[in-house]
Structure 1
Amino acid sequence: MSTSTTGRTPGRATGRTARTLDTTEHRSRPLTAPSALLDLVALLAIGLVAASPLADAYGGWRWAAAVGGGLALGLVVALTSRLAQLGPWLTAGALVLVYLVVGPALATPDLAAGGVAPSPDAIRTLLSGVVDAWRDSLTLIAPLGSTGNVLIVPWVVGLVGGAVAGVLVWRSRWPGAAAVVVLGILGISVAFGTANAEHTTVRGIVLAVLLLMWIRWRSMSGSRAAWVRRGVLGALTLAIVAGAAVGATTLLDGDRREVLRDHVDPPFDPRDYPSPLSKFRAYTDQLNLKTTPMFQVDGVEGGTLVRVATMDYFDGIVWNVTGGAGSGDASGTFVRFRDEAASGDTTEVTVTIDQYTGVWVPSVGDSQSVTVRDVDGNVDADRSVNVLHNQPTGTVAQVGGVGPGTTYEFETVLPDAPSEEEIVDAARQQGVELEAPVGVPENLTKLVETWIGDAGGAGGDGATAQVLAQRFKDDGFYSDGKPSGYPSAAGHGVKRVSDLVERPRQMVGNDEQYASALGVALQNLQVPARVVIGAEVPASGAVTGDDMHAWVEVALDGLGWVPLTPTPPDDQILKEEQEEPDPVPQPYLPQPPQVPQEPGQADQAPPQGAGENTGFDLWGLILAILGVLWTIVKILLLLTPIWGLLLVKWWRRRRRRSAGDPVTRLSGGWREVTDRARDLGVRLPVSNTRHQNGLVLDGRFPEAGAPTLASVADRHVFAPGEPTPDEVDAYWSDVRTALARMRTSVPWWRRWVAVLSPASIPWRQLGRRVTSRARRLGASARRSAPARWVSDRAAARRRRQHTKDRKGTPS
């Protein structure tokens, strides 16, 4: 028996040794410089193509530098880890070091010292951006550009993706698994991209071709197949994949796709704020605002119009700033300024905020770019990343509101002032489609028709607009509604506009009413017009509430948006209230609902941070997910069979320790050692003797003293007599010491795996034992049932016979 066992054991050991050496040789295959360089270049190119959907969301070239630099450095870290044989913790530490040292230059260039070196602000942004950048990249409106922390997303994707791909290629037995990492980069890039993508078919084909070429090259790098055959097979494979990619792209919905930002509330929607025109009375009526410095404008001449907000939709109650979610092409959307250099003849205009509040940033002309600085003159990255621009209307907004001392440096194109002759001869600009106004008063329509008729048709659209503006200015009177002046209600809705033009009363109002009436009248004539609230810059450049005005802009062919002022001069006032004639019954006109709050009251500026996105709380989402996962874990812990496994091990150890036979109790100690070894991952052949298994365990756990325990067990099992209880107790004490040493010689995670490992449970023997027991019980039941039936029948016959015998006996 010993000879046969010994004869089989070397064969098995040799087979295991051969497989181990083969695995080790595979993992430590020599890495040549040409192959490593080719892998690095191929993975860099494939990763850049996979990350190309980020171009639609970021714009410019900074995103490519961030993701490309991340891929290259991640691959270099993985290659260095292979050459220096670094462990996982050292590799991760090197990755973190690269992230913090090189990250400022590629991910936060605006905060880096000199644009490249780490700085405290850059390091702080990199650390917080690991969490915040993902949220900001989704909530900010594309193009994201490069300011703030938005570049951290491509930087992290490239760095982590390159490191993982490099480790799989150079330090694992599955180098082809790097393709999964590339697909992961593609998925993340698409998810953080935009819904309307360009060249998706070309990107898919290029990515598939490069990926298959690289996988094919690696798979045949050690093959001796003919190059012609390899080329033909490779070309055929690429043709099939390219055709499949084109077909799949054609079947999909063109260049439209689902992205994460489509399911996140927009960070800025102008409809969340009251109409800027509703605050006009507060600027001109309240003394504290009328004389208070609002903001300082430098770089323009006195008399220049400064825009605060442009409103191009009248809903019957107020004029609204459009450009939110779902806005049409005419109104555009609020987006961030692009990082491109300003084109054309630009002028630098500086606006410094003083006591002005709100989300609308004063601007001049067609703003091309903006730089935001704080009170100390330093670039304010937090505000810069949240400055949005509506290109068609020229409105600039600051998410969260402007702050005192903040300076906005604009590169802007100042418009040319057209002459009156040019305005008269101009027609309406084609292609500008605005939503029709709601609830146009009938008396306004009749008054406009009368004025146009008095002018003899007024000529073109520019002449019509100019005639209407001049008639409002000539026939109307100015009033702010002060107690000392002529009564004039605030507001600019349908009711107030109807009261303004109601005859035979005189027109009395200020910029709010006249601009609203002219804008509604022109839009009702299908002339593209909009209302603007802003200021006329004084010679000193210091704008106060008294300098605030409202006017109308009309889109004319060849001239662009031309400003028109319909408000009478402020000295053109009505001295006394005229007597009203006998009222004439008027037909009933349905009026729109009244504004719940009088719009003429001084609206409070939105609180700091108002309008910021609160629909996407990343920390709240993470905590909710963790809470659900913890609930699932608790349920699984209650229902898991782990408790049964632990109970079986405890019951087995207790039965061995308390066995009645001393020899069985002592040999159970050795079985406890071998079972613990199996749980720790050491396979012990069933055919081995205790001594052979002790030698195997001594090679794996030299401090446990397994050979000595095996010898003691053999001596007491095969020797005559029985061991004393003291000898059994001493043996179990040595077993407990050996088990503790075996446990401490493995990593901490392996100890917990051993506790929950079912490797030492003889499942097959238990299954056979349970099956055999069930089979015996079934056979016994089948045998006993007929026997009981026969016995019952015999007993019944005996009882009947006994009854007959008693009846036949004479009394």
Structure 2
Amino acid sequence: MGRGAPVVTRVLRAAVVPLALIGLTALAGVVLGRVYAGDLLTRLVVGAAVGSVLVSVAARRLPSWLVAPVSVAAMAGWTLLSLRLAAARADLPGSLLEVTADAARNGIPRLLTAMIPVEPTPDTVLVPVVAAWLAGLAGAEVALRTGRVLLGYLPAAGLYAAALYVVGPNAAPAVGVTVAFVAVAAVGLAVPAGPAAAGGDPSADLAPRVRAAVRLRLAVASALGVALVVGLVALLGPVVAGQVDGRPVDPRRYVEPPQVQSLDENPLIRISGWALHPEQKLLDVSTVPAEDAAAAADGDRARIRLAVLSDYDGVTWRVGATYRNAGRILPASMPARDNTVQTVRQEITVAELSGRLLPAVATPREVSGARVAYDPATGTLIRPEGLTPGLRYTVESARERPGNNLLTTANVPAGDEVARVLRVADGVPDTLRRLAAQLAEENGAPFARASAIEQFLGEHYRVAADAPSGHAYPNLGFFLFGPRDGGGQEGTSEQFAAAFAVLGRLSGLPTRVVVGFRSTGQGPVRAGDAFAWPEVLFDGLGWVPFDPMPRPNEEPRPVEEDFRPAPEDPPPSEAPAPTVEPTASPEPVAASDGPPVSGGLSTPVLVAGGGGGLLLLVGALLLTLLAMRRSLTRTRLAQGDPGQRIAGAWREVTDALRLAGRPVGDDLAATEVAGQARRALADARRASGSAVTDDDAAVPGAPAANVGGAPGAAGTPSSGVGGVPAAAPEATVDDLAALLNQVGFAPGAATADQAARAAAAATQYVATLRAARPWWRRVLWSIHPSPLRQSRTPHSSRTPHSPR
């Protein structure tokens, strides 16, 4: 018994450090798992932590150079098993090889663009599992082979910090888990290192008195070490916490979500094309079970949505969605309190429908058979890889039906939350304002106003399948007031829905336009079934659809019977030019005939057996990123026509703002972005202790000097790009915004000199903003991969922000 006790003690001592390493690595998985659906991710990371440490323990007597290959081989097996489990849980199609290759290419960007809660699919579990295994391997080798326990904790601590960063503000503070992390680390540090941990006792051959002294000294040293760590945490913790913002930064703000093509951003312009080919088969729909098909085709509910368009700038309606990669289960929102909800499950097969928008009955809750990205604000789905003939997927939706008895007394919301769907762009024709005022004059209740607009459009206008596309203010003016014998007062559902939405907003109603298809719930959906309809937002009822289309076999009454424009504003006599489906996307998107965009940068899994090889790979990656960033800048500033180069210069400025932690939205006007750019530069100068110029505090939107290409600019001239004098960066960004507006309002009018001036302005501003950053941020600036997202899309001459 006397000899058995020391053996047990030595075994416990030898087991404490490996168990601590397993616990620290597993806790990183617990932290990250808080933003995942279910506990699969946590279990996979715990398995990686256990496997990596146990392999190192079992291989302790092997040469050190042999441990890494053995552990990496075991990691490959565990990773493949994890991917297979994740694919089976998400019901993803394809072989294990295809799933693994897709996850390796797109793991990081999909993880950072995924919707919360993140579905544990192969592309969202690959990186955490591999990172956990590598952290366990590195920590075990350092702590067990060299006896440096504290140094061996660094990989696990780095993994834990990375998990906290990825979670960001999307979960509650991990206070309990962090306390557990510190406690596990303290237990591992309290165990004597070196020979004691390896199974030997340094005092075994000493005299009893000396042995007791050695043990006492080791115990005192361990207690002092733990006390020192606790004291430092108690002393420095409040100071460090005071320097950190209460709300962590969300890394998703630095990664652009999946993008769509121009026809997907504004599918409303496709209505007229579909109307000319009504027999084209777009979809096959099957309602499951089949007896629900009759209910699926009941009245207003016989609609399959393609897209919801909430933004209107006086020229075009846009979806304006922010898509996040989603799993099979989509986030559910609470239905309106007074609505009835019906679950509809449909199997849809794509025929000749193109683009990336994925049709579904509102509001989708579960999608299987296709990887999707989702915008919760509008309920719009996309397939980032694009639609292909034969694609079959199943979608389950929670369809709401408002209580009709409550509509007549329902109010409409107001304020900042609905400002987007109440916004009316500048330039509204007076005739539209007067018509909206007339229809609202005798209809005070919101529902009465909406019904009056619906009735007016249905009684005075007729449907024409060959009507030209277009829903800008001039097009709507001609549709509403143009001469009947000259093509006016007729259109497709595009004009009916757009006119209703604009008149509704002018009457104080929050409106939007929806594009979709009529469906019986069973059988084919053809191009002739495509149509658009308006919706109005009511308190307690949600979005309610309206039907402003004329009734069949009813002859419309002349508009002049109920509305007569003032003499000074006669109706137009010529039809405005139709909207042509663009051949180049106004958003940077992938070419339709090229390989599908997966939604992010390539992320191959790099595994190195030794530290030297890993350093070489990291160095090669950094040099590659640096070269790609410089090539991207040269392409933007020097290639294409002058309009494209001006747009590229503007993209350099917006990328710089994103790298400086001041990203701008695409809904801002160019002058608003310029004002934000000035403020960002002023803040950076203040933070660095530099002098702040008067231009830093300039009023946003102030007129920019030297836009038309005349030599000279505000400030003292200095050397620029292409011989163009450089101005103060605050002035040059205003010049660039003005040039961007010129490109937006007068495409093709930009000159080569103006393009050179834009390049000089962008170069000077970016250099000035970068110079105001700390040295280590300047280094990261040059290799940050987020601007490369734009290099995966074809160069176009679009203006990245609204020209105003």
Specify whether residues 532 and 615 from structure 1 end up closer, same or farther in structure 2 by C-alpha distance, changes over 3 A only: same
Give the Cα–Cα distance (whole angstroms) in 2 for the partners of residues 120 and 285 of structure 1.
Answer: 38
Give the Cα–Cα distance (whole angstroms) in 1 for the partners of residues 85 and 176 of structure 2.
Answer: 31
Specify whether residues 244 and 107 from structure 1 end up closer, same or farther in structure 2 by C-alpha distance, changes over 3 A only: farther
In the other structure, the counterpart of 1:366 is: 363
In the other structure, the counterpart of 2:378 is: 393
> Where do residues 477-626 of structure 1 align in structure 2 (5 Å cutoff)?
477-481=462-466, 488-502=467-481, 507-538=489-520, 540-569=522-551, 571-572=553-554, 586=568, 598-599=580-581, 607=592, 612=597, 616=601, 626=620
In the other structure, the counterpart of 1:87 is: 63
Specify whether residues 110 and 214 from structure 1 end up closer, same or farther in structure 2 by C-alpha distance, changes over 3 A only: closer
In the other structure, the counterpart of 2:22 is: 44
In the other structure, the counterpart of 1:285 is: 276
Specify whether residues 36 and 562 from structure 1 end up closer, same or farther in structure 2 by C-alpha distance, changes over 3 A only: farther
Specify whether residues 599 and 152 from structure 1 end up closer, same or farther in structure 2 by C-alpha distance, changes over 3 A only: closer
The answer to whether the 8 Å contact 1:108/1:146 transfers is: no
Give the Cα–Cα distance (whole angstroms) in 2 for the partners of residues 278 and 185 of structure 1.
Answer: 49
The answer to whether the 8 Å contact 1:357/1:605 transfers is: no
SS of aligned partner of 2:408: helix
In the other structure, the counterpart of 2:236 is: 244
**Is 2:157 aligned against 1:159?**
no
The answer to whether the 8 Å contact 1:533/1:550 transfers is: yes
Alignment-mate amino acid for residue 408 of structure 2: V
Quick check: 203-212 or 70-79, which moved more?
203-212
Specify whether residues 115 and 443 from structure 1 end up closer, same or farther in structure 2 by C-alpha distance, changes over 3 A only: closer
Alignment-mate amino acid for residue 534 of structure 1: G
Alignment-mate amino acid for residue 22 of structure 2: L
Specify whether residues 55 and 586 from structure 1 end up closer, same or farther in structure 2 by C-alpha distance, changes over 3 A only: farther
SS of aligned partner of 1:107: helix
Structure number, greater radius of gyration: 1
Give the Cα–Cα distance (whole angstroms) in 2 for the partners of residues 53 and 129 of structure 1.
Answer: 22
Give the Cα–Cα distance (whole angstroms) in 2 for the partners of residues 144 and 415 of structure 1.
Answer: 26
SS of aligned partner of 2:216: coil
In the other structure, the counterpart of 1:452 is: 440
SS of aligned partner of 2:420: coil
Gaps of 5+ in 2: 1-6, 202-214, 334-340, 607-615, 627-804
Give the Cα–Cα distance (whole angstroms) in 1 for the partners of residues 90 and 431 of structure 2.
Answer: 63
Shift of 1:78: 0.8
Alignment-mate amino acid for residue 39 of structure 2: W
Q: What is the aligned counterpart of 2:32 among 44, 54, 57?
A: 54
In the other structure, the counterpart of 1:70 is: 48
Quick check: 297-306 or 406-415, which moved more?
297-306
Give the Cα–Cα distance (whole angstroms) in 2 for the partners of residues 494 and 120 of structure 1.
Answer: 48
Gaps of 5+ in 1: 1-28, 325-332, 373-382, 482-487, 633-811
Specify whether residues 120 and 318 from structure 1 end up closer, same or farther in structure 2 by C-alpha distance, changes over 3 A only: closer
The answer to whether the 8 Å contact 2:35/2:171 transfers is: no
The answer to whether the 8 Å contact 1:143/1:338 transfers is: no
In the other structure, the counterpart of 1:13 is: none
The answer to whether the 8 Å contact 2:303/2:516 transfers is: yes
Could you tell me the percent identity over the aligned residues?
21
Q: What is the aligned counterpart of 1:434 among 420, 439, 451?
A: 420
Shift of 1:75: 0.8
Give the Cα–Cα distance (whole angstroms) in 1 for the partners of residues 90 and 500 of structure 2.
Answer: 51
Q: What is the aligned counterpart of 2:407 among 405, 414, 423?
A: 423
The answer to whether the 8 Å contact 1:478/1:570 transfers is: no
Give the Cα–Cα distance (whole angstroms) in 2 for the partners of residues 63 and 595 of structure 1.
Answer: 55
Specify whether residues 628 and 548 from structure 1 end up closer, same or farther in structure 2 by C-alpha distance, changes over 3 A only: closer
Specify whether residues 540 and 228 from structure 1 end up closer, same or farther in structure 2 by C-alpha distance, changes over 3 A only: same
Give the Cα–Cα distance (whole angstroms) in 2 for the partners of residues 280 and 338 of structure 1.
Answer: 30
The answer to whether the 8 Å contact 2:461/2:557 transfers is: no
Give the Cα–Cα distance (whole angstroms) in 2 for the partners of residues 312 and 465 of structure 1.
Answer: 17
The answer to whether the 8 Å contact 2:514/2:535 transfers is: yes
Give the Cα–Cα distance (whole angstroms) in 2 for the partners of residues 595 and 183 of structure 1.
Answer: 63
Alignment-mate amino acid for residue 362 of structure 1: P
In the other structure, the counterpart of 1:96 is: 72
**Is 2:449 aligned against 1:464?**
yes
Shift of 1:631: 14
Q: What is the aligned counterpart of 1:35 among 10, 13, 17?
A: 13
Specify whether residues 80 and 404 from structure 1 end up closer, same or farther in structure 2 by C-alpha distance, changes over 3 A only: same
In the other structure, the counterpart of 1:336 is: 326
Give the Cα–Cα distance (whole angstroms) in 2 for the partners of residues 250 and 186 of structure 1.
Answer: 21
Give the Cα–Cα distance (whole angstroms) in 2 for the partners of residues 577 and 587 of structure 1.
Answer: 15
Shift of 1:306: 0.7
In the other structure, the counterpart of 1:315 is: 313
SS of aligned partner of 1:199: coil
The answer to whether the 8 Å contact 2:374/2:382 transfers is: yes
Give the Cα–Cα distance (whole angstroms) in 2 for the partners of residues 572 and 602 of structure 1.
Answer: 41
Shift of 1:424: 1.5
Q: How many residues are matched? A: 562
Q: Which has the higher contact order (CA 8 A, sep 6+)?
A: 2
SS of aligned partner of 1:361: coil
Give the Cα–Cα distance (whole angstroms) in 1 for the partners of residues 148 and 254 of structure 2.
Answer: 37
SS of aligned partner of 2:400: coil
SS of aligned partner of 1:562: strand
The answer to whether the 8 Å contact 2:117/2:331 transfers is: no
Give the Cα–Cα distance (whole angstroms) in 2 for the partners of residues 340 and 516 of structure 1.
Answer: 29
> What is the root-mean-square deviation of aligned Cα atoms in Å?
4.5
Specify whether residues 359 and 217 from structure 1 end up closer, same or farther in structure 2 by C-alpha distance, changes over 3 A only: same
Q: Per-residue displacement from partner, 1:163-215 (whole Å, max 9, x unpaired)?
A: 22122222223232112212331344356555656416665555344423432
How does the TM-score come out when normalised to structure 2? 0.61
SS of aligned partner of 1:257: coil
Q: What is the aligned counterpart of 1:295 among 275, 278, 284?
A: 284
The answer to whether the 8 Å contact 1:69/1:106 transfers is: no
Q: Per-residue displacement from partner, 1:339-367 (whole Å, max 9, x unpaired)?
A: 48979863322222122111111101221
The answer to whether the 8 Å contact 2:48/2:78 transfers is: no
Alignment-mate amino acid for residue 284 of structure 2: F
How does the TM-score come out when normalised to structure 1? 0.60
The answer to whether the 8 Å contact 1:104/1:111 transfers is: no
Shift of 1:143: 4.7
Alignment-mate amino acid for residue 257 of structure 2: P
In the other structure, the counterpart of 2:249 is: 257
Alignment-mate amino acid for residue 359 of structure 2: P
**Is 2:111 aligned against 1:137?**
yes
In the other structure, the counterpart of 2:431 is: 443
In the other structure, the counterpart of 2:667 is: none
Give the Cα–Cα distance (whole angstroms) in 1 for the partners of residues 440 and 453 of structure 2.
Answer: 8
Q: Per-residue displacement from partner, 1:45-82 (whole Å, max 9, x unpaired)?
A: 22233455534664542321222111111011111112
> Where do residues 402-413 of structure 1 align in structure 2 (5 Å cutoff)?
402-413=387-398
Shift of 1:548: 1.1
Specify whether residues 340 and 77 from structure 1 end up closer, same or farther in structure 2 by C-alpha distance, changes over 3 A only: farther
In the other structure, the counterpart of 1:330 is: none
Alignment-mate amino acid for residue 237 of structure 2: A
